[in-house]
Structure formats: structure tokens, C-alpha cells
């Protein structure tokens, strides 16, 4: 769907009834804006006052220009900044009420310092700002919706997304890009060039505008696009597009006759993608590309042969200014990139030709060594490269009514390497904003920093409103619209200024990071930070981490490591692999809105797909395998890291907090699947988030997040059950046991507090009854079983991944522990029985030689002597050692912790035993529980370092094997890869 351009009236030129009724409201809002701006200036709120007055002046201009409430998009999106101001003012309101510990209004007899009048006046302005700031965008949204309905009702703009050619030629009000345009032909001679560019408010106006209009760059740009050709007077944009279409059609016929394929590229390809097979209405030329190798095969005698043949085929009506496969030193125009240019002699408008060649091996970037062939535009100033599959094979289509047009195989992907993924229409003015590529991330970080550092008083606001403006525009379709209207040099200068302003802050932050994470100290002091030369204030050691300590650095480090792993995997394996072949297409279907489409091979509920699709849609990112992997490596991974860091800090270990957090997050199978589009990372993130909320007694929210975790993986209902059970035991049953009295009201209160848990459980039971199984698809291969061997397998796996230091300490504890022959013998017997009668050999385990578990079973577990003789002894030794290790015995001194560990073991049994398939990633959540206890209570720093190093080595090795050591499958003849 195309975003409609604002119109000022109906077809007869009369304002709508709504416009007439809205004008008084508009006048009131303008007056309030100006008054509020003056009041803000009075209380020394310079930024807010000036910006408010500027927006008020925009309103005056719109009103005086007889535009009614139909403001231009610049004004409309400017009004939305008031909403961002409202957020800031609301923060100031809360600060004024709670942080300063002073009433909003004070009497003249009050003993408060300062002038009561100024204090009360500032409070009044603050309340007025809250009301006005929210009223303006609400009014603007109402007006905009009415404008949309008015446009759709009166067919001023065509906006139904279907093919427009030949379907809307009635009434003179609809139009197509290149067919006979009948509406408003009498306006072609009007002198729009003398009016401001904001006068053009519809696509009819674009087509009727003269070619030297400022919207198209004015005279200077016109000369550049006509190569010095003389132009007849009175040409409009419609004439230019007609001329370009005719020239392009002639070139398509000429190149087709000589046997050379040429394809659409650049802005024309964007027009094809988003304008229903037509060019951008305000485009100024047509760009085509050719492959240098094909060109030289067709014209073996060089550029001269090409020039003469093409000129002869085009005929006398066209001027071939230059033509070649690679014009060499004769490349001129468009910074020397064009290898050819053909113009219509009548108008001077022409078609530009660009040449593409293969990127040589020595010119490949590090991230391009992925086995794919990469192409580049020769002599391009921006070093434009893209993978071959984005271009080839070429597709045949129709463009602007011209048949036989070739376009790249994947137009959006091809264009994204030059213009970014956001190819949709941006708000007016198009000439400045159509290709805005600035992103909001950097500005959002700055805004977050400024919000967290609350100003000390109302009169000393250090948050410039232009940051909120930038954020507001950034949210709309991914481009910072206001800043993109500035010149490139001005944007660079603006960002350089920001770096200069915050240089002292960055230097201080770096010093703090070095002190804490490199030198291992925690200085109990406060830095004084100065921005510029006037604003200095105290800056605590942890300005963001003060309450979360290692949360931010741990999250950043883990996300960075996971992102590097994703980058490495994408370089060698850009396509979906293993279970991704099910997950990726399903998410793509959701991204495209096909929520009824479902792959019956998928066993889990669609929680991950909905989460990923919503996130990618929000940031206007494509639903590709690469982006989905990046989503997993950033969003759920960051959530897991932040929660784990918070849980570790909650126990306040003596030292090495960051190291302890990294040990949990570097667990090999968890870390490995952070880089692939699997459900494991999202499932783990939501489970640990539920645990965090549960521990902070946010039971309602914990139940909702737990329900979301079940929607990612059904077995997570076990962990939600475990949290609810522990809560009932500790808060309900244990106090009754200690008091030796049953307190029914207390028990009822405990149960009611878990109402979201109960609803989730009931919903899960209903799902089981409706579905007939826990899994959604592939039910025949995932039948619930008594796979008791999963318990010793999981214990051995977690112990192995914890490293040799833990092995030695466990053996040492087992040797030093007092003899308990009955318990040790009982553990060995139970383990033996589990491995003897509870072992299930799943067909997938035997058939899939891509998993390490295939070789684990083949060379170790399939041998009865090892499985039934060695493993029970190893399990008994581990349990004996753990039961006497300091890091586990310390928390067991409390009854609540004993109950927690008992419930944890029960949940491990319930989550693992029913699964018939042995996959090490199924042990991730139990492993995270063990590691959280280990890192919180382990005092031996050397053991912690060895454990972290062991896990890091395993991660590097597994990633290296996965990416660099593929093997050729005998069954399929394709390259396969080893993985956990």
C-alpha cells in the first residue's frame, strides 16, 4: 500500500466539513503553543521554548496558507515530537513530585527556599505542557485519519496496491505512471517553479510540475541530467517520464537485438518494487546495468563496436553520448561511474548505463569469504558489492508498460546492498527524504543516557529537544526524517560535535571499565563529568550499572560474542541448516502475514516466530536467515544475559562478578545455539526471566512471561510448575509446619497470588486435550516415553562442560567425604537401572551423523560395558562429590534452599525423561540452574577462570568445526556440518 500524499480539498476545491470544523481547534492549539513557548522561555527552558514557538509558527503558516488542518507531512511529523516532549515533561513531573521532595505548589508563607511565585508558575507550566503536548499529536492523528478517509472516499489518490495500468482511467482523478494522463492537463502551464516546494501536495502536482522545479533539484540538477542538451520550454515531469520511457523502450529493443542482457537498477528498481511496476513519480532518469563479461563477449572488438552498433539500432532520434563495456578514462558524469548514456534528442532526458564485474579473490572482504560469488559495480564511489544470487538469474517482467524488461532475481535484496532494507515511501518532501538511511540506534543510546541522568531542576534541563525529534522521526519507518533533510556535511558535523561534547564522559567511562574489569578493582568514588564548559555534575561509578552492576557489560560482551559467531556462520553458511529449514520458512510466512500457514514438521508452538516477526517488522528488517539469526543472537541473548547478571548480583558474590556471569552464559550448547535460529535461546531467555520476576515477587507478570515461554517450548510448563510449587511450599506450607497450625487464609492468599500460573496451566491442559499430544507436529517421532537415561546423561554432560577444575574438585570432595556405602550403592544401582531399562535409541540418533551425539552413542554409549559399567560409577562419584562440595553445601544450610533444590531435581526429571531423543541442547535450562548455584557460591577464583577458559575453548572449537570443517554426505551428496 502506498502512503497517500496530503491533499487540501475535494475535487471541487472546497474544504471538507471536517476541515471547516477543525480550524477553530487549530487556532486554539496555535495560541496555546505560542503561549507555552513564551512561558518556557520565561523559566529559562530555552530549548523547549524555542522549539514550541517554531512549531507554533508552522501552524500559523499552515493556517495562513489556507491549508486548513491539512498540514504538510513536515508539520505533521513535527507535531508528533510533542508526544516525545510529553514523555520528557512527564519525567520532569515525576521528578518534581518525588525526587525533589517538594510539593507542586507552595503558599507565600511556606519556608521553602526560592520564590513561591516562580515555583508555582513553573509547576503550572509543567502541568499545562503535559496537557498541550499530548493534545497536539492526538489532534494531528485525528486529522490525519480523516484526511486518509477523505482521500479514499474521493479517489484523489490511487491506493489499493494492485496493478494500476489501465484500471483507473475514469473521472480524471486517478492516474498511472506512464499511460495517458487526463486529469488536470490544463494545469501543465502553471508556474509552480516560483512557488515553494511545499506547494506540491499530491501526485497530480508532481506530474504537472515543471522539470526545473526545486523538488527535482532545480536548474543545477536539471543540467546534470540532460548532459548539456537544450530543452524545449514548458516541459513537465510527465513529459520527462514519457521521454524516459520511450528512450528506455528503444534501448531494450536495441540490446535485445544484439543479444546483450541489461537490467533495471538503482532508483528505477525501487520504483518497480514499491510503485507497482512503475518508476518513482519524481524520478529524473532511468538507470540500467550490464555485466562486463557478457558485454565483452557480445562486442569482442571493444567499445567502438558497441558504440556504432547501438547507435545504428537506436536511430537518429537518440543521442549516444557514450557507450562501452568499460569506458576507462572516458568515464564521465555521475562521478565517473557511467559507462554509457543515451538521451532523447527532443528533450535531453536519458538513460544511464552502469557496468558490473566479479569481485576478484584478492579483493574479497573478510566477510565475503563464504564460498559465494560476489559482484561489484565498476568504478563505484561507494564500493558497491552484492552476492551473485541477488542478481542472477535475471527475471523477465514489464516496467512502465514496456515488455521484455529484465530485473535482478531478488530486487529487494539487490537494492538493499545499495540503499538499505527500507525501500518504502518516506514522508514529503521526497527529494530530501526518499533515501534516508540514518538509523535511530545511536540517537536512542544518547537519549537513554540523558534520560537516566535526570536533571537537577526544572530550570536546568540539559536534554535538547532535537534528540526527541530525532527519536520520533527515527521510529517512523526506520529513517531519521528530520536529520536526513540536512546535508551530509552538516550531519557529519553534528555527530562530530556530539562526540566532542561527550569526549570527557567517554574517557571517564573507559577509565571505569579498565579499573573494574581489567585491574579488578572497584573504586568507591564519584567522578565529576563536564559537558562542554558549563554543565558539570557528579557521575557515579555505575551510572547505569549502579543497581545492576555487571548487567550492562555482561550483556554487551555476550551479545557481541554471539553476534561474531553469527557473522562467522553467515559467512560460511548463509542458508538455513538443520532445523532452521523449518523455522525460517515458518517465520517468513508470519512476516508476510500468512498466520494460517503451518509446517507440520514443527513440534513447538509459534512463540519464537511471532516474536521474531514482530521485532523484524518493527525495525523494517527483512525476514532472511541472516536477520533471524541476528535476532536470536541479540534480543533473546541480551535478555538472558541481563537476567543472569541480575541473578548473580542478587547473591552478591565476593569478587569476579563479570567472570561468574560469563561462565553461565558461555555454557557450550547454550552459546552455540545463540548463533542459530532455534527455539532454545528464546525459550531459555523467557524461563530465566520468569524466574527473575518470580524471585522478585512479581507473580502476575512472571506468570505471563512463563506463558510466553510455554508458547516457545511446551516443556517450559514444567519450570513454571516448579516455581509455583516452590512458592506454595515456602510461603504456604512451610510457615504452617513451623507454626504447627494450618492457616487456610494464608494458603488461599498464596494460591490466589499465582492466578496467572493457574490460567497458564489450565490453558496448557486444554491444549493437550485438543491436540492429543505435547508436541504440535511430527507427533509420531516425539511420543512421550520413559527415557530415564536422560538423567545420568544430563549430569555427566553438565559436569563435562564445567571443565577439569570441577572434575578434580569433585573427585577430591568424593575421596575426602565420609563413607556412606548404602547411599553410594543406592545411587549406582539406580543409575544402572536407569541406563539398563531406561535407554531409548531414537531413529534420529542413529540416522543423523551431523550431531556429535551420533558419535557419542556410536563409540561410547552403545557399548554395554561403558554404559552399564563405567557410567553408574561416574554418576555415583559425581553425586558423592557434589554432595560434599562447599559451593553446594553452603546454600543447603537453609530449608528454603533445600526445598528449591528438591523442586529443581523434580522438574529436571519431568522435563527430560519424557523426551525420547538424546540432544544435548535439551539440558540447557537444567545446566543453567546448576551453573547459577555454582558461580554464586564458588569461592575459588582459579577454578572459575579454568571453567571459563574450558568453555571458551569448547565454543571456539565447535564453531571452528561447524564452519571450517564440513563433510560430504554420502546420502545427499551435499556438504554437511558437525554440531551439538
Q: How many domains does the chain have?
A: 4
pLDDT at residue 809, rounded to an integer: 87
Same domain, 257 and 130: no
Angle at the Cα of 268 from the Cα atoms of 311 and 614, rounded to 5 degrees = 160
Same domain, 293 and 391: yes
Nearest C-alpha neighbor of 704 from the set 756, 754, 750, 752: 756
Same domain, 929 and 825: yes
Angstrom distance (rounded) from CA 466 to CA 88? 12
Same domain, 886 and 794: yes
Cβ atoms < 10 Å from Cβ of 973? 7
Q: Is 738 a member of any domain?
A: no
Nearest C-alpha neighbor of 727 from the set 704, 707, 763, 753: 753
pLDDT one-digit tens code per residue, 601-613: 898 999 999 999 8
Angstrom distance (rounded) from CA 831 to CA 838? 10
Last residue of a domain, one of 391, 425, 459: 425
Angstrom distance (rounded) from CA 654 to CA 272? 62
3-class DSSP assignment, residue 738: helix
- Helix and strand counts by DSSP (H, E) for the chain: 41, 13
Nearby residues of 540 by Cβ (< 8 Å), 6 or more positions away: 526, 527, 546
Same domain, 283 and 390: yes
The residue with cell 569482442 is: 300
Same domain, 388 and 509: no
| Cell numbers given for 76 | 505533521
Angstrom distance (rounded) from CA 811 to CA 831? 18
Nearby residues of 969 by Cβ (< 8 Å), 6 or more positions away: 975, 976
Last residue of a domain, one of 512, 528, 544: 544
Q: Is 474 a member of any domain?
A: no
pLDDT at residue 428, rounded to an integer: 31
pLDDT at residue 182, rounded to an integer: 30
3-class DSSP assignment, residue 386: strand
Q: Is 431 a member of any domain?
A: no
pLDDT at residue 452, rounded to an integer: 41
Same domain, 130 and 238: no
What CATH number did the domain enclosing 296 receive? 3.30.460
527's torsion region: left (phi>0), alpha (psi -120 to 50) or beta? beta
Angle at the Cα of 355 from the Cα atoms of 353 and 359, rounded to 5 degrees = 160
Q: Do the bridges between strand 374-377 and strand 286-291 make them parallel or antiparallel, or are there none, so unpaired?
A: unpaired
Asked whether the beta carbons of 333 and 227 are under 8 A apart, the reply is: yes
Q: Which DSSP string do the residues of 23-68 spell out, in sequence order?
A: HHHHHHHHHHHHHHHHHHHHTT-HHHHHHHHHHHHHHHHHHHTT-T
pLDDT one-digit tens code per residue, 463-519: 444 444 444 444 443 333 334 444 455 556 655 655 665 554 455 555 545 544 454
Same domain, 829 and 917: yes
Angstrom distance (rounded) from CA 790 to CA 904? 15
Q: Is 436 a member of any domain?
A: no
Last residue of a domain, one of 154, 177, 200: 154
User: What's the alpha-carbon Rg for the chain, to the nearest Å?
Assistant: 34
Angstrom distance (rounded) from CA 636 to CA 647? 16
Helices 625-650 and 657-665 pack at an angle, to 10 degrees, of 140
| Cell numbers given for 32 | 496555546
Question: Looking at the chain, how many residues does it have?
Answer: 980
Nearby residues of 668 by Cβ (< 8 Å), 6 or more positions away: 801, 951, 954, 955, 958, 980
Angstrom distance (rounded) from CA 350 to CA 321? 10
Domain containing residue 898? 790-976
Cβ atoms < 10 Å from Cβ of 441? 10
b (16+ CB within 10 A) / e for 454-473: ebeebeebebbbebbbbbbb
pLDDT at residue 490, rounded to an integer: 54
Same domain, 799 and 895: yes
The residue with cell 527430560 is: 912
Nearest C-alpha neighbor of 606 from the set 722, 772, 776: 776
Same domain, 231 and 361: yes
Same domain, 117 and 253: no
Angstrom distance (rounded) from CA 112 to CA 687? 50
Low-confidence ranges of the chain (pLDDT < 70): 1-26, 29, 33, 40-49, 51-52, 54-123, 125-126, 128-203, 213-231, 327-337, 365-369, 380-383, 419-552, 652-655, 739
Q: Is 972 a member of any domain?
A: yes
pLDDT at residue 92, rounded to an integer: 59
pLDDT at residue 426, rounded to an integer: 38
Q: Do the bridges between strand 286-291 and strand 350-358 make them parallel or antiparallel, or are there none, so unpaired?
A: parallel
Q: Is 967 a member of any domain?
A: yes
pLDDT at residue 650, rounded to an integer: 72
3-class DSSP assignment, residue 732: helix
Helix H or strand E encompassing 407: strand 402-407
Q: Exposed, middle or buried: residue 938 (CB in 10 Å: 0-12, 13-18, 19+)?
A: buried
Nearby residues of 722 by Cβ (< 8 Å), 6 or more positions away: 903, 904, 906, 907
pLDDT at residue 164, rounded to an integer: 32
Q: Is 856 a member of any domain?
A: yes
Q: Is 586 a member of any domain?
A: no
Amino acid at each position: 500500500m502506498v502512503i497517500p500524499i496530503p491533499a487540501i480539498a475535494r475535487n471541487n476545491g472546497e474544504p471538507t466539513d471536517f476541515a471547516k470544523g477543525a480550524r477553530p481547534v487549530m487556532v486554539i492549539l496555535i495560541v496555546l503553543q505560542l503561549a507555552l513557548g513564551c512561558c518556557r522561555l520565561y523559566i529559562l527552558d530555552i530549548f523547549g521554548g524555542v522549539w514550541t514557538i517554531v512549531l507554533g509558527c508552522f501552524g500559523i503558516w499552515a493556517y495562513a496558507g489556507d491549508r486548513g488542518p491539512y498540514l504538510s507531512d513536515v508539520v505533521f511529523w513535527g507535531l508528533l515530537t510533542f508526544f516525545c516532549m510529553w514523555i520528557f515533561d512527564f519525567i520532569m513531573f515525576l521528578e518534581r513530585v518525588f525526587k525533589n521532595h517538594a510539593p507542586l505548589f507552595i503558599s507565600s508563607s511556606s519556608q521553602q527556599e526560592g520564590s513561591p511565585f516562580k515555583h508555582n508558575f513553573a509547576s503550572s507550566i509543567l502541568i499545562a505542557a503535559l496537557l498541550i503536548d499530548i493534545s497536539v499529536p492526538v489532534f494531528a492523528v485525528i486529522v490525519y485519519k480523516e484526511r486518509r478517509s477523505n482521500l479514499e472516499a474521493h479517489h484523489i489518490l490511487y491506493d489499493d496496491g494492485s496493478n494500476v495500468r489501465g484500471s483507473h482511467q475514469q473521472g480524471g482523478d486517478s492516474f498511472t505512471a506512464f499511460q495517458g494522463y487526463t486529469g488536470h492537463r490544463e494545469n501543465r502551464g502553471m508556474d509552480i517553479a516560483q512557488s515553494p516546494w511545499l506547494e506540491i501536495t499530491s501526485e497530480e502536482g508532481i506530474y504537472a510540475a515543471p522539470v526545473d522545479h526545486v523538488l527535482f533539484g532545480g536548474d543545477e540538477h536539471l543540467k546534470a541530467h540532460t548532459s548539456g542538451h537544450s530543452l524545449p520550454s514548458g516541459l513537465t515531469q510527465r513529459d520527462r517520464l514519457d521521454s524516459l520511457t520511450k528512450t528506455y523502450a528503444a534501448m531494450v529493443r536495441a540490446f535485445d537485438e544484439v543479444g546483450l542482457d541489461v537490467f533495471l537498477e538503482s532508483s528505477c528498481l525501487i520504483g518497480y518494487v514499491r510503485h507497482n511496476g512503475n518508476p518513482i513519480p519524481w524520478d529524473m532518469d532511468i538507470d540500467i546495468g550490464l555485466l562486463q563479461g557478457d558485454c565483452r563477449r557480445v562486442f569482442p572488438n571493444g567499445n567502438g563496436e558497441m558504440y556504432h552498433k547501438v547507435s545504428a539500432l537506436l536511430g537518429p532520434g537518440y543521442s549516444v553520448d557514450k557507450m562501452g563495456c568499460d569506458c576507462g578514462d572516458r568515464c564521465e558524469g555521475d562521478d565517473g561511474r557511467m559507462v554509457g548514456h543515451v538521451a532523447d534528442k527532443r528533450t535531453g532526458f536519458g538513460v544511464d548505463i552502469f557496468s558490473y564485474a566479479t569481485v576478484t579473490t584478492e579483493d574479497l572482504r573478510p566477510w565475503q569469504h563464504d564460498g559465494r560469488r560476489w559482484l561489484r559495480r565498476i568504478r563505484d564511489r561507494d564500493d558497491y558489492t552484492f552476492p551473485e544470487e541477488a542478481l542472477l538469474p535475471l527475471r523477465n517482467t514489464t516496467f512502465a508498460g514496456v515488455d521484455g524488461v529484465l530485473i535482478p532475481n531478488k530486487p529487494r535484496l539487490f537494492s538493499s546492498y545499495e540503499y538499505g532494507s527500507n525501500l518504502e515511501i518516506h514522508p514529503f518532501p521526497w527529494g530530501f527524504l526518499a533515501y534516508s538511511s540514518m538509523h535511530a540506534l545511536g540517537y536512542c543510546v544518547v537519549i537513554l543516557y540523558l534520560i537516566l541522568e535526570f536533571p537537577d531542576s526544572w530550570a536546568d534541563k540539559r536534554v535538547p529537544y532535537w534528540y526527541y525529534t530525532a527519536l520520533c522521526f527515527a521510529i517512523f519507518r526506520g529513517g531519521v526524517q528530520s536529520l536526513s533533510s540536512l546535508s551530509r556535511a552538516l550531519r557529519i558535523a553534528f555527530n562530530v560535535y556530539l562526540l566532542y561534547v561527550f569526549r570527557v564522559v567517554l574517557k571517564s567511562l573507559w577509565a571505569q571499565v579498565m579499573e573494574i574489569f581489567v585491574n579488578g578493582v572497584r573504586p568507591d568514588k564519584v567522578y565529576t563529568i563536564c559537558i562542554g564548559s558549563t554543565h558539570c555534575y557528579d557521575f557515579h561509578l555505575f551510572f547505569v550499572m549502579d543497581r545492576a552492576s555487571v548487567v550492562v557489560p555482561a550483556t554487551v560482551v555476550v551479545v557481541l560474542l554471539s553476534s561474531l559467531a553469527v557473522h562467522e556462520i553467515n559467512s560460511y553458511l548463509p542458508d538455513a541448516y538443520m532445523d532452521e529449514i523449518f523455522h525460517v520458512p515458518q517465520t517468513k510466512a508470519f512476516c508476510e502475514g500468512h498466520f494460517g500457514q503451518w509446517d507440520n514438521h514443527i513440534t513447538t508452538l509459534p512463540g519464537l516466530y511471532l516474536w521474531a516477526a514482530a521485532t523484524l517488522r518493527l525495525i523494517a528488517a527483512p525476514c532472511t536467515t541472516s536477520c533471524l539469526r541476528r535476532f536470536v543472537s541479540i534480543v533473546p541473548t541480551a535478555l538472558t544475559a541481563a537476567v543472569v547478571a541480575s541473578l548473580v548480583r542478587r547473591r552478591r558474590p565476593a569478587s569476579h562478578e563479570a567472570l561468574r556471569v560469563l561462565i553461565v552464559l558461555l555454557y557450550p550448547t547454550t552459546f552455540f545455539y545463540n548463533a542459530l535460529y532455534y527455539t532454545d535461546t528464546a525459550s531459555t531467555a523467557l524461563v530465566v526471566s520468569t524466574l527473575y520476576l518470580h524471585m522478585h515477587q512479581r507473580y502476575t507478570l512472571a506468570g505471563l512471561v512463563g506463558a510466553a515461554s510455554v508458547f516457545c517450548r511446551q516443556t517450559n510448563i514444567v519450570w513454571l510448575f516448579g516455581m509455583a510449587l516452590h512458592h506454595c511450599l515456602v510461603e504456604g506450607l512451610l510457615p504452617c509446619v513451623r507454626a504447627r497450625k494450618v492457616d487456610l487464609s494464608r494458603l488461599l492468599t498464596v494460591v490466589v497470588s499465582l492466578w496467572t500460573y493457574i490460567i497458564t496451566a489450565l490453558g496448557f491442559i486444554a491444549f493437550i486435550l485438543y491436540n492429543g499430544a505435547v508436541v504440535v507436529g511430527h507427533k509420531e517421532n516425539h511420543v512421550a516415553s520413559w527415557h530415564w537415561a536422560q538423567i545420568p546423561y544430563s549430569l555427566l554432560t553438565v559436569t563435562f562442560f564445567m571443565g577439569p577444575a570441577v572434575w578434580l574438585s569433585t573427585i577430591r570432595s568424593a575421596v575426602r567425604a565420609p563413607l556412606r556405602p548404602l547411599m553410594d550403592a543406592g545411587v549406582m544401582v539406580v543409575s544402572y537401572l536407569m541406563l539398563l531399562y531406561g535407554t531409548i535409541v531414537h531413529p534420529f540418533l542413529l540416522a543423523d551423523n551431523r550431531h556429535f551425539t551420533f558419535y557419542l552413542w556410536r563409540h561410547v554409549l552403545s557399548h554395554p560395558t561403558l554404559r552399564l559399567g563405567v557410567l553408574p560409577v561416574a554418576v555415583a562419584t559425581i553425586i558423592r562429590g557434589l554432595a560434599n562440595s562447599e559451593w553446594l553445601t553452603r546454600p543447603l544450610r537453609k530449608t528454603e534452599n533445600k526445598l528449591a533444590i528438591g523442586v529443581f531435581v523434580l522438574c529436571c526429571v519431568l522435563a527430560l525423561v519424557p523426551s525420547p531423543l538424546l540432544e544435548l541442547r535439551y539440558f540447557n535450562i537444567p545446566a543453567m540452574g546448576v551453573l547459577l548455584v555454582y558461580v554464586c557460591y564458588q569461592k575459588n577464583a582459579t577454578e572459575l577462570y579454568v571453567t571459563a577458559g574450558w568453555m571458551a575453548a569448547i565454543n571456539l572449537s565447535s564453531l571452528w568445526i561447524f564452519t571450517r570443517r564440513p563433510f560430504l554426505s554420502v546420502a545427499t551428496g551435499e556438504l554437511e556440518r558437525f554440531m551439538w
